[in-house]
Structures are given as C-alpha cells and as structure tokens.
Amino acid sequence: MPMRTLLLSLSLLLSANLLAQDMDANGIMPKHELKLNATNLIVAAYLDGAYEYLLNEESSVGVGLLLGLGEDDILDGYRTFSLTPYYRQFFSKGYAKGFFVEGFGMLNSGTTDDYIFDSFPDDGTYVEDNYTAVAFGISIGGKFVTKRGFVAELYTGVGRNLIGTDWPDFVGRGGVSLGYRF
C-alpha cells in the first residue's frame, strides 16, 4: 500500500510540474497569441499578421490578415488581400505547441493579368481583372514556445479557390511567424 501511495504522489507531482511549465508567472494558462509572418514581410512586402486563441492543449482557432504593401506583390502571383480563419490540431505533449495540422478557409482578392491576342502574331493587349474568391485548404507546421511566451512557428499549406473565380486556382499559405503568447 505505501508503494502505491508513493507512486501516485510522484505521478501527481510530475504532472503538476509539467502543467506548470506552460502557465505564466501568475499561474494562469495563456490563451492568446499575436504573430507576424516575418517571411512574407521580408520577401514579398506583405503585412501578414494573425491572432490565435488556444481552445485547449490540443487545439486552437485563429484568423490571419494579409495586406499587400507594394506594387510588385509576388505572393501567389496575384493576391493582394486575404482573410484566413483556421483551426489547428496539435500532436505534441506541450500545451498547444509542436507539430500541427491546420484546416483553413480564405477570402482572397487580387488582380490578374491576361494577354488577349487581337491578331496573329504580334497584336494583343494586356487586360487587368480584379477577382475575389473563397478557398479551402490544409497546412502543416510546427510551433515552438519559450517559457516566457515567445512564439516561433514554421508552416506551409495550399488551398483551392472554389467559390468566386476560375483563376487563380490555388492559394499558398506559409512562412515563419514570430509572436507572443499571453
């Protein structure tokens, strides 16, 4: 009987210690994250931020907002705006961190360039068309969180525009995001 009590006490102590590592200094489990996608800002001149709410130790929901900052936007070739709600399922031992799979929806818009041939071989004109579409997709990635709440995540994904346009067919999602859990 004393051995069972000792093992049970030790197990409870270890469990409490592991849980406490994810709590803040006041003993409260942080549930909110704000992040900025550094890759899109540096490489493609996009402001790409996200807010994420941690539902429990295995899942979260969030929303990302992407805005093109310049004339020469290169993300997906055409996209200049997107609003992306998502759901993440985590597969690691830590509280909402480690490897994850994400399902997302994306309201996206931008401008496409079409070349219309008037006659062969040299006559033609470029025509710009604005589009707005809704895509659905999936991403995978990893999230790393320090004891003080600094968040770094690496993720990649693809979605298909299903509502609103026939071009572009696909949208990309990904990069390296940096932020804070509070």
| Mean pLDDT in residue range 125-139 | 92
CA 51/CA 37 separation, integer angstroms: 11
pLDDT tens-digit readout, 164-174:
987 899 999 99
139 vs 101: CA distance, rounded Å: 6
- For the stretch 109-121, pLDDT in tens is 998 877 777 766 6
Domains and CATH numbers, the chain: 29-181 (2.40.160)
